[in-house]
Structure 1
């Protein structure tokens, strides 16, 4: 088991579990306050106080009484909070939470307000200077074949037992499709199966279908397709996921119909009647989107169908964050980038594909994340028992709440897309 906890250089790709290393060695940028000028820290303090005062939030600075109306944000250590933000922007904001320097009883509520007013946090004049203070993504996070393998392992090879604590029994780590809100644990599995069945229906998967799945997860979609009579090749870069997926396929009695390959999507061969890829494009990186969509087209048999499930963000936001090193890219998904629908449309068209149908349902993802977050919090002792320390648990809670807030603020969305080969493309036949 490894833990995704980059050091200040962001070069380490796997470190020992928390119980095997000193606290400060695991989280150097959390334990130690960053350097930087007092002027920069003071400027960050002035900026944050003014920005938060304009938002529908109640804010408490240190021991002072809260002011404002809305979800309560308690900044327990204002000077440390300002220092981190002055040195690292939003990375510092996240690290400050990991360090316990700010709290919120309604963490999702606070983050939803911030996501809904993201343009109000920094004055327009300062936004033009973004390039002067935003860190660029480390070269080591580029999604080359070797880089992708390392990036994926840092998240998905944490521990199958960890993910099992908060995912539903299907081990689905993507948005469910609910029949009603609010959802409950009793309906969670059926909502995840509904999502999978919609994707398989989109691509017409049935007896004899040759199906390629890019991004195995823990095997539920491949299992479900095999039960329909399909022959499945599914690929993953996570050894932990592959191990559990193979076990689950054997237990379901469909292992002979499914091949689980530990390889990159760019290394797949053959052609298939259907290709399905669920929330995998977010791990590809903009630099490699052309290769991703070209692979989809090249692997598609004549009259075949492609189903994608993809998280999206507004195009201007995607462009602003494409080269930025963010808290998410540092601690949660190294190398990841959420695309915009415009980017998907343009890149798929260049590869000779066309989008036939598009169904978005961001509110379902917010509900999915709520259930994951509540389950994770209830399992705090079990998470600790697996060897993950308090900083890791706070990091994971912030990640789940931050993601849920993005969907509740409609900053993020999720789409199920059906693509086919564009037979009129100027690229000509394969």
Structure 2
């Protein structure tokens, strides 16, 4: 997916796109708001933070000399450079404030992913149980403007994927595949991504002559791979920039006669297909639309057809506890996003489709390694990314986002699954 630094050039936003977003939440490259002032909340946040880290295997060095954490000399280090601002942000909104404090430079770490992994491993118990019942009154809730209606989904996808094709090319491999791969240390990233694509096509039974629908085009890697098997492919996306580059890549591969790249919501797709494939698109659907998503897969599949879905998942109890929460990732990276649980997938297949879950494969550790490679590649191309003109905060936003996600997989809090679904053939 990635290109050389010399191949990166200024892209920015289309003028109309920038105007459409200007009134919404902060763009990834915008400066972080100044620290709020709330002494009582800051004092409470300080007590909770100290309680949370006292048994964690980390080291916390607070400016002024205070030392916290239960980690030894080799434990990951967190430096709180501006404790006043840090605790004020944490007190104003713990979920968002912790990440904003990192963006603002209130705290730092020489081993960010490892530090966040230690926090993620204890995530359910960081806040004392008696205080967890207050979540519904303390947590910010997702704004109605970010619901994944047909118009809301377009805005949400636009804010994430239309950032800049050149930006994503800075850290992805040559296939431009922006999803987890079953990658092990020392493996070639591109080869692992191609193996993942083949695995998804195999689950859906894609071969020569297959009429295949892809929900979530990305930059065209799966569509190209399927077409080279002899399939005729319709692929849909809500990202204008993704569609533009996918069309170019399909044309360059000489496959534009068998691959149709459409700017279309999955709910608006018509026709019937032998196979439907969707890789890490369900995370952008939203919990209230998951039944519609699965019903759409079922409606579009012919009897006897097959589907494959790759999904990042979280524990079901955590999903139920946090599904309405508004987080740092929503605000700065991926508005409207929500990870399903395995139980959500199983239940929706059972209730909202005529399909059966035939196979399931997981590779969470491989996703952690994928994210580590992306984070390292992005750091290596820091100067080229800066030349894209997307804002001085953007590299720090994505450093934190990729490390935060890596920590989720490394700790086992997050996982990723490929689901193979078969639609019963009517007699």
Distance 1:399 1:188 in 2: 20
| Structure 2 counterpart of 1:107 | 112
1:336-382 CA-to-partner distances (Å, cap 9, x unmatched) read 00000001111121112221100011001001000000001111111
May I ask how many residue pairs the two structures share in their alignment?
405
1:85-138 CA-to-partner distances (Å, cap 9, x unmatched) read 111111000000010100010000110000001123111111011111100100
- Is residue 2:330 matched to residue 1:329? yes
| Structure 2 counterpart of 1:183 | 186
- Is residue 2:125 matched to residue 1:133? no
Q: Is the 1:359–1:417 Cα contact (8 Å) retained in structure 2?
A: yes
Distance 2:25 2:386 in 1: 19
Q: Is the 1:275–1:300 Cα contact (8 Å) retained in structure 2?
A: yes
Q: Is the 2:236–2:262 Cα contact (8 Å) retained in structure 1?
A: yes
Identify which range, 383-392 or 314-323, moves more after superposition. Answer: 383-392
Distance 2:344 2:54 in 1: 35
2:99 to 83, 94, 113: 94
Do the aligned partners of residues 16 and 41 (structure 1) sit closer, same or farther apart at CA in structure 2, a change above 3 Å counting? closer
Question: Could you say what secondary structure the match of 2:277 adopts?
Answer: strand
- In the TM superposition, residue 66 of structure 1 has moved relative to its aligned partner by 4.2
Distance 2:337 2:22 in 1: 16
Correspondences of 1:24-423 after superposition (within 5 Å):
26-27=30-31, 30-36=32-38, 38-64=39-65, 66-67=67-68, 68-69=70-71, 70-178=75-183, 181-183=184-186, 187-352=188-353, 353-422=355-424
Distance 1:393 1:246 in 2: 28
- In the TM superposition, residue 2 of structure 1 has moved relative to its aligned partner by 3.9
Q: Is the 2:375–2:402 Cα contact (8 Å) retained in structure 1?
A: yes
Question: Could you say what secondary structure the match of 1:255 adopts?
Answer: coil
Q: Is the 1:13–1:154 Cα contact (8 Å) retained in structure 2?
A: no
Question: Could you say what secondary structure the match of 1:166 adopts?
Answer: coil
- In the TM superposition, residue 53 of structure 1 has moved relative to its aligned partner by 1.7
Unaligned ranges ≥5, structure 2: 1-11, 15-20
Q: Is the 1:13–1:150 Cα contact (8 Å) retained in structure 2?
A: no
Unaligned ranges ≥5, structure 1: 4-9, 19-25, 424-428
1:234-259 CA-to-partner distances (Å, cap 9, x unmatched) read 00000000000000011111111000
Distance 2:234 2:280 in 1: 17
1:37-65 CA-to-partner distances (Å, cap 9, x unmatched) read x1111010111112112110011011316
- In the TM superposition, residue 206 of structure 1 has moved relative to its aligned partner by 1.2
Q: CA RMSD in A?
A: 1.8
Q: Is the 2:310–2:419 Cα contact (8 Å) retained in structure 1?
A: yes
Do the aligned partners of residues 298 and 334 (structure 1) sit closer, same or farther apart at CA in structure 2, a change above 3 Å counting? same
Q: Is the 1:272–1:300 Cα contact (8 Å) retained in structure 2?
A: yes
Distance 2:304 2:275 in 1: 9
Q: Is the 2:36–2:89 Cα contact (8 Å) retained in structure 1?
A: yes
- In the TM superposition, residue 13 of structure 1 has moved relative to its aligned partner by 4.0
**TM-score, normalisation: structure 2:** 0.92
Question: Could you say what secondary structure the match of 2:246 adopts?
Answer: helix
Q: Is the 1:311–1:415 Cα contact (8 Å) retained in structure 2?
A: yes
Distance 2:24 2:161 in 1: 12
Distance 1:120 1:292 in 2: 33
Distance 2:423 2:329 in 1: 34
Q: Is the 1:2–1:14 Cα contact (8 Å) retained in structure 2?
A: no
Distance 1:31 1:129 in 2: 26
Distance 1:347 1:223 in 2: 29
1:256-306 CA-to-partner distances (Å, cap 9, x unmatched) read 100001010000000100000000000000010111000000000111000
Distance 2:67 2:249 in 1: 51
Do the aligned partners of residues 277 and 95 (structure 1) sit closer, same or farther apart at CA in structure 2, a change above 3 Å counting? same
